[in-house]
C-alpha cells in the first residue's frame, strides 16, 4: 500500500490536475486504488502552498475536485458496461433459480424511467464518501439506467463528494493518510457487509425456488 501511495503521489505531483484525472479513472477500474486516499492526497500535494480556507476553496474545486469527479464518472463506465452487458446472461440463465423473471426486471426498469426518485438516490449515493462507487455503477448497469443521466449525476455527485475530502487533505497536511485510512476502512467494511447481504439473499432465493 505504501508503494502504491507513493506512485499515486508522484503522478499527481508531476502531472497536477491531469494526474488526478487519470488516477481517478484507474481507481474505478482497479479496485485496490483507494479513491479517498487519491483525492485527499491531491489536496495535500497540490494545495499545500495555500494558507487559508478562503484562498484554497476554488483551487480545490477546479484543480482537484472537478478533475477527480470527471475521471470517476468516465472510469465508472467500465463496471457499468460489464453489468449492463451481463444483465441478460444473469437473468436468462440464472433468473429461474433466483426467482427473478424477465418481466419483473423490465417492470423495475420502466419504473425507474418514469420516476425521479432514482435520480435523487443515485446523486445521494455518489455524494456519500464511504459508499462504494463500484457497487453503484454495477447496480445502475444491471438496471440499464440511462447512461446520460448516469454520467451527469455521477459527475455532479463526484464533485460534491470530492471537495470536502480534498479540503480535509489540505488541512491535515502530512497526517492526511491517517484520516484517509479511516474513511477507506469504513468503505471497505461497508462493501463487505453489502456483498455478504447480497450473497445471503441470493442463497435464500435459490433455496426457496428449489423447494417449489
* DSSP letters spanning 143-203: TT--HHHHHHHHHHHHHHHHHHHHHHHHHHGGGHHHHHHHHHHHHHHHHHHHHHHHHHHHH
pLDDT of residue 206: 45
- What confidence category does residue 153 fall into, taking pLDDT thresholds of 50, 70 and 90? very high
Residue 211 has pLDDT above 60, yes or no: no
Look at residue 101 and give its three-state secondary structure: coil
Which of 44-48, 139-143, 176-180 bottoms out in mean pLDDT, i.e. has the lowest? 176-180
CB 67 within 8 A of CB 34: no
Single pTM value for the model: 0.76
Q: CA angle, corner 187, sides to 185 and 190, nearest 5?
A: 110
Q: In whole angstroms, give the CA distance from residue 31 to residue 210.
A: 35
For the chain, the average pLDDT equals 78
pLDDT of residue 7: 78
* Mean pLDDT of the region 81-99: 67
* Mean pLDDT of the region 143-166: 92
Residue 102 has pLDDT above 60, yes or no: no
Contacts of 156 (CB under 8 A, 6+ apart): 69, 123, 126
85 or 155: which leads in pLDDT:
155
Amino acid at each position: 500500500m505504501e508503494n502504491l501511495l507513493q506512485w499515486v503521489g508522484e503522478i499527481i505531483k508531476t502531472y497536477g490536475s491531469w494526474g488526478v484525472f487519470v488516477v481517478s479513472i484507474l481507481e474505478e477500474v482497479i479496485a485496490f486504488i483507494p479513491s479517498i486516499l487519491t483525492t485527499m492526497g491531491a489536496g495535500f500535494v497540490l494545495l499545500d502552498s495555500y494558507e487559508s480556507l478562503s484562498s484554497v476553496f476554488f483551487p480545490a474545486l477546479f484543480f482537484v475536485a472537478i478533475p477527480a469527479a470527471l475521471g470517476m464518472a468516465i472510469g465508472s463506465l467500465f463496471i457499468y458496461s460489464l453489468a449492463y452487458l451481463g444483465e441478460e446472461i444473469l437473468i436468462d440463465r440464472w433468473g429461474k433459480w433466483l426467482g427473478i423473471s424477465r418481466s419483473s426486471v423490465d417492470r423495475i426498469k420502466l419504473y425507474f424511467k418514469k420516476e425521479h426518485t432514482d435520480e435523487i438516490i443515485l446523486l445521494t449515493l455518489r455524494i456519500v464518501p464511504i459508499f462504494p462507487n463500484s457497487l453503484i455503477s454495477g447496480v445502475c448497469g444491471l438496471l440499464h439506467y440511462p447512461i446520460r443521466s448516469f454520467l451527469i449525476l455521477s459527475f455532479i455527485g463526484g464533485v460534491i463528494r470530492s471537495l470536502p475530502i480534498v479540503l480535509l487533505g489540505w488541512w491535515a497536511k502530512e497526517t492526511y493518510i491517517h484520516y484517509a485510512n479511516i474513511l477507506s476502512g469504513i468503505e471497505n467494511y461497508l462493501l463487505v457487509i453489502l456483498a455478504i447481504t447480497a450473497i445471503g439473499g441470493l442463497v435464500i432465493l435459490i433455496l426457496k425456488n428449489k423447494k417449489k
